[in-house]
A and B are shown apart, each in its own frame.
Chain A
Amino acid sequence: MGLLTYITKKLLIGIPVIFGVTIILFYIMYILPGDPIQLLLSGERVTPERVEELRRAWGLDQPVYVQYFYWLSRIIRGDLGISIVTKQPVSLLILQRLPYTLALMLTSILLSYVIGVLTGIITALKRGSLLDSILSTSSIICYSIPGFWFGLILMLIFAYYLRLFPVSGYEGWHSLILPALSLALPSSAYVMRLTRAEMIEVLGEDYVRTAWAKGLSKRRVLLVHALRNAIIPVVTMFFLDLPWLMGGAVVIETLFALPGMGRLLYVSILKQDYPVVQGIVLIITILTVVCNTLGDVVIAILDPRIRFERGRSV
């Protein structure tokens, strides 16, 4: 099937998935402990009739599926509700924070993959050498280090002792460096291992030997023939890493007090500000599905075999 057909298929699957997840999401929020009305009023003393009035106004007396449809129609219009704590629209809160989280994610994934792929290629080419041993062992150490502890250490050394970066808060691009490094560390180690393993395997393949036999330059064989094949699983991993980074961002943003969506999620959970939590989880879900779909599409572009082999477990 053609590339366009394949892409369209993947996109079409994504939509029901998003719907499916919104249902699950809504249901989870529905069964969460805590009466939303009580939380909304947060301790104000109010007559039972008033509570009933509010309940009806909010549609909370309706059956679950009706509530779901109300909620869904609001979501589609961009209305994610009101924060219980700050009384501001959730969508506004999220929009304010999203850019910081995206900036952090972008910086760390770039760092992670650039370092990871480069070291992976180098160690694959210099396999068995001292450099290979050192880097390989370092990579195992790197993905054993907890990101948040690494962040603390970085903070201690570079922000406090050396005063090179701000300790916390957002003061410009350089505030993202330490957090991005913390997020990128374990990821880059995995990327290095994968790249190395794939490169080694590809370099032993017959078609690479054919490329050598044609007398192509070393650079061309390594880049156009070897890497072009080896990089495919790495690209897959790239798109699967993005959602993971969203999760990691929660911890790191909290650690470095960055005004991002992750920290908002954490704070909102603590304060039981459920509309905000719900809104953020919804956004994260949509982003996850988008990343996965995008990943599938990119792989289909890179690897022509995928489009032709339907129903085959790769």
Chain B
Amino acid sequence: MPRTLLSIKDLRVYYETIRGYVKAVDSVDLEIYEGESFCLVGETGCGKSTLALAIPRLLPPNARILSGSIMFKNIDLLKLSDSELEEIRGRDIAVVFQNPMSSLNPVLRIGLQVGEPLVAHFKTPWREALISAIKQLSRVGIPDPHLRSKDYPHAFSGGMKQRSMIAMMTSCKPSLLIADEPTTALDVTIQAQVLRLIRELKEEYGLTLLLITHNFGIVAEMCDRVGVMYAGKLVEVGNVIDIFESPLHPYTKGLIECVIARRKSKSRLSQIPGAPPSLINPPGGCRFHPRCLYATSRCTSEEPGLIEVSREHLVACHNYVR
């Protein structure tokens, strides 16, 4: 029985906006086990990034964490002070962000930026840290790392920037690596390389990986377990084979069918009718019911909780389909 590394309970994260509260994450429970690769999937705006960034508490200033707990190695991350968080970030929990073009400081050299975490967390002297940074850059596949470490970010391509980010974030050998759509902003050819790199490093350093994506292809390639989010709620969780072969939630079904249809034929895509709901005023009951083919009257009034249907396969649906 694998150990739980991260345990999220009843997490509620809302964004304060002029138009009201955006309920980006509305009561989510989730467990992530040590050493696994967990993928969080969903459409844009379903709250997956918010959930991921809530863990190291790197949310934008208008985000409010209203309730819940995030247990990491027996510590509730949500209750930590700023200085305590400082110690954990970069060292135990690391994040690779979506947009490498803007995620590196334009006026500092790459070598310095990659070496910073070592100096900050282990008090490594700068000389050593820079040498270590060069080694890291070499490990992630940057050619001529000694020379390149003196470059500024604008001299790097998107792929190289993202690799540098990965080097930077894994330099302290964290326990948990959160990757928020790490390849979405990259060229297709580079995407595969970066994903492979992440996989390799995971094995090498024994990381636990939490990968956020909207692309099921990536899910299939990278993950052991999958969590599907819709409109701020977790609607299905299970291991990757179960999700692909026997999705239970109508939404997951729809998504998988889209992927398969796209791969197989060139004829029309089977679409999920409708559009994602507003997160300020989400539909009552099950949030998916307006678009669901199997919706019943119970679905409009009663919100389904996550039920364990078979081992490790949970779904939040009144009428889940076998």
| CB within 8 Å of B: which A208-248 residues | 209-218, 220, 224-225, 228-229, 232
Interface residue? A28 (CB, 8 A)? no
Q: Which residues of B contact A225 (CB under 8 A)?
A: 105, 108
- Complex: chain B residue closest to A229, CB-CB: B107
Is B128 among interface residues, defined by CB-CB distance under 8 A?
Answer: no
Q: Which residues of B are found within 8 Å of A229, using beta-carbon distances?
A: 105-107
**Cα of A229 to Cα of B106 in the assembled complex, Å:** 8
Q: How far is the CA of A229 from the CA of B53 in the complex (A)?
A: 24
Binds A, one of B18-26, B96-104, B215-223, B285-293: B96-104
Report the nearest B residue to A203, measured CB to CB: B61
- Whether the pair B82, A218 counts as a contact (CB closer than 8 A) is yes
Check: A171 CB closer than 8 A to any chain B CB: no
Option from B85, B88, B97 in Cβ contact (under 8 Å) with A206 = B97
Q: Is residue B134 within 8 Å, beta carbon to beta carbon, of the partner chain?
A: no
A228 partner, pick from B95, B99, B107, B116, beta carbons under 8 A: B107
Closest CB of chain B to A54's CB: distance in Å?
Answer: 61
Minimum C-beta distance from A27 to chain B (A): 43
Residues in A with CB closer than 8 Å to B88 are 215
Interface pair A211/B106, CB less than 8 Å apart = no
A-side binding surface: helix, strand, loop or mixed? helix
Contacts of B95 in A (CB 8 A): 213
Select one of B89, B106, B108, B154 contacting A214, CB under 8 A: B89
Knowing A206-B99, A304-B106, A304-B107, the reply to whether A213 touches B56 (Cβ < 8 A) is yes
Indicate if the CB atoms of B154 and A304 lie closer than 8 Å.
yes
Contact at B116–A216, with CB atoms within 8 Å? yes
Partner of B90, one of A204, A205, A215, A302: A215
B108 touching A228, Cβ below 8 Å: yes
| Cα–Cα, bound, A210→B60 (Å) | 13
Chain A residues with CB under 8 Å of B90's CB are: 213-216
Give the CA-CA distance A214 to B92 in the complex, in Å.
Answer: 10
Residues of B near A205 (CB, < 8 A) are 102
Tell whether A308 is near chain B: CB-to-CB under 8 Å: yes
B162-196 interface code vs A (CB 8 A; 1 in, 0 out): 00010011000000000000000000000000000
Closest A residue by C-beta to B99: A206
User: Given A207-B103, A305-B106, A305-B152, are A213 and B120 neighbors across the interface (CB < 8 Å)?
Assistant: no
B108 touches A215 (CB 8 A): no
Chain B residues whose CB sits within 8 angstroms of the CB of A207 once the complex forms? 102-106
Shortest Cβ distance from A280 into chain B, in angstroms? 39
A212 with B58: CB separation less than 8 A: yes
**How many chain-A residues does the 8 Å CB contact rule pick out?**
25
Among B87, B107, B117, point to the contact of A302 (Cβ < 8 A): B107
| Chain B CB within 8 A of A201 CB | no
| A53 contacts the other chain (CB 8 A) | no
Interface pair A206/B87, CB less than 8 Å apart: no
Check if B233 is an interface residue, CB within 8 A of chain A.
no
Task: Assess the B107–A209 pair: CB atoms within 8 A.
Answer: no
- Select the residue from A210, A217, A218, A228 with max chain B CB neighbours within 10 A: A210
A303 located at the interface, meaning its Cβ lies under 8 Å from any Cβ of chain B in the complex: yes
With a CB–CB cut-off of 8 A, which chain A residues contact B107? 228-229, 232, 302-305
Question: Are the C-beta atoms of A304 and B152 separated by less than 8 Å?
Answer: yes
Q: Please indicate the chain A residues that have their CB under 8 angstroms from the CB of B165 in the complex.
A: 210
- Residue among B82, B86, B88, B168 with most chain A CB within 10 A: B86
Contact with B along A172-210 (1 / 0, CB 8 A): 000000000000000000000000000000001111011
CA A289 – CA B317 in complex, angstroms? 73
CB pair A210–B97 under 8 Å, yes or no, is: yes
Bound complex: CA A217 to CA B83 (Å):
8
B121 within 8 A of A: yes
Q: B89, A209: Cβ atoms under 8 Å?
A: no
Give the complex CA separation of A205 and B155 in angstroms. Answer: 19
**Min C-beta distance of A310 to chain B, whole Å:** 13
Is B91 positioned at the interface, with any CB of A under 8 Å from its CB?
yes
Residues of B within 8 Å of A215, CB to CB, are 85-91, 117, 120-121
Asked whether A218 and B86 contact (CB < 8 A) given A228-B108, A304-B154, the answer is yes
Residues in B whose Cβ lies below 8 Å from that of A217 = 86, 120
Interchain CB contact under 8 A, A210 and B104? yes
Q: B94 interface residue, CB < 8 Å from A?
A: yes
Please tell me if the beta carbons of A213 and B58 are within 8 angstroms of each other in the complex.
yes
How far apart sit A265 and B89, CA to CA, in the bound complex (Å)? 60
User: What residues of chain A lie closer than 8 Å to B89, measured between beta carbons?
Assistant: 212-215
Q: Report A-chain residues with C-beta under 8 Å of the C-beta of B104.
A: 207, 210
CA distance in complex: A271, B272 (Å): 87
Q: How many Å from the CB of A289 to the closest CB on chain B?
A: 27
CA distance A204 to B91 in the complex (A): 23
Q: Is the CB of A206 within 8 A of B103?
A: yes
Give chain B nearest CB distance to A17 CB in angstroms.
28
Q: Knowing A214-B169, A215-B89, A308-B154 touch, does A209 contact B108 (C-beta < 8 A)?
A: no
Chain B residue contacts of A308, Cβ below 8 A: 154-155
Kindly provide the distance from the CB of A124 to the nearest chain B CB, expressed in whole angstroms: 12
Contact, CB under 8 Å: B103 / A210: yes
Q: Which of B's residues lie within 8 Å of A, judged by CB?
A: 56, 58, 60, 82, 85-91, 94-95, 97, 99, 102-108, 116-117, 120-121, 152, 154-155, 165, 168-169
Q: Closest 9 CB pairs between A and B?
A: A215-B90, A215-B89, A214-B90, A206-B102, A207-B105, A304-B152, A213-B95, A206-B103, A214-B117
| Besides A210-B165, A210-B168, 10 other A-B contacts (C-beta < 8 A) | A205-B102, A213-B169, A215-B86, A215-B89, A215-B121, A216-B116, A216-B117, A217-B120, A225-B105, A305-B152
10 pairs from A and B in contact (CB 8 Å cutoff): A207-B104, A207-B105, A216-B90, A216-B117, A217-B86, A220-B120, A224-B108, A232-B107, A304-B152, A305-B107
